[in-house]
Amino acid sequence: MAERHVNVGWTEGLHARPASIFVRAVTATGVPVTVAKAESTPVNAASMLAVLGLGARGGEEIVLASDAEGADAALDRLAKLVTEGLDELPETV
C-alpha cells in the first residue's frame, strides 16, 4: 500500500472550501484514496462528509493511502496539493 504523510497546508485546515478542493482532486485522480489523521481510522477521501468529519487542522499531519494501480502518482499529486494548500490539483508533480 502506498502512503504519504503530509501536513495540511491550508491555514483553516480541511474545512469547507479546502475540503471541497481536496475531494474534487481525489475524485479527479480516478484512484480510490483514504485519508486519516495520525492513529485514527482511515476514511474515503472522495467523501466530503468523511473528510470534514476528520477535523484536520492547518499544520496537522494526515495520511493519504491507496493500494490501487497508479496510486504513487496520484498520492504524489494529492500530497503536493495538501502541503502547499493549493486551489487546484497540480497537472504534474
The answer to whether the Cα torsion of 36, 27, 75, 70 is positive or negative is positive
Identified catalytic residue from 9, 15, 50, 83: 15
Q: Which CATH number belongs to the domain containing residue 64 in this structure?
A: 3.30.1340.10
Residue 33 has a pLDDT of 98
Annotation marks residue 5 as catalytic? no
DSSP summary character for residue 56 = P
For the stretch 5-27, what's the b/e string if a residue is b when 16 or more beta carbons lie within 10 angstroms of its beta carbon?
Answer: ebebbbeebbbeebbebbbebbe
Determine, yes or no, domain membership for 21: yes
As given in the structure block, the three cell numbers for residue 30 are 480516478
Determine, yes or no, domain membership for 89: no
Please give the tally of structural domains in the chain: 1
Determine, yes or no, domain membership for 67: yes
Domain that holds residue 56: 2-84
Angular region, 44: left φ>0, alpha ψ -120 to 50, beta rest: beta
**pLDDT one digit per residue (tens) for the chain, 93 residues:** 999 999 999 999 999 999 999 999 999 999 999 999 988 999 999 999 999 999 999 999 999 999 999 999 999 999 999 999 988 766 654
CB 51 within 8 A of CB 69: no
Query: What 3-state class would DSSP assign to 89?
Result: coil
Determine, yes or no, domain membership for 93: no
Determine, yes or no, domain membership for 90: no
Residue 38 has a pLDDT of 84
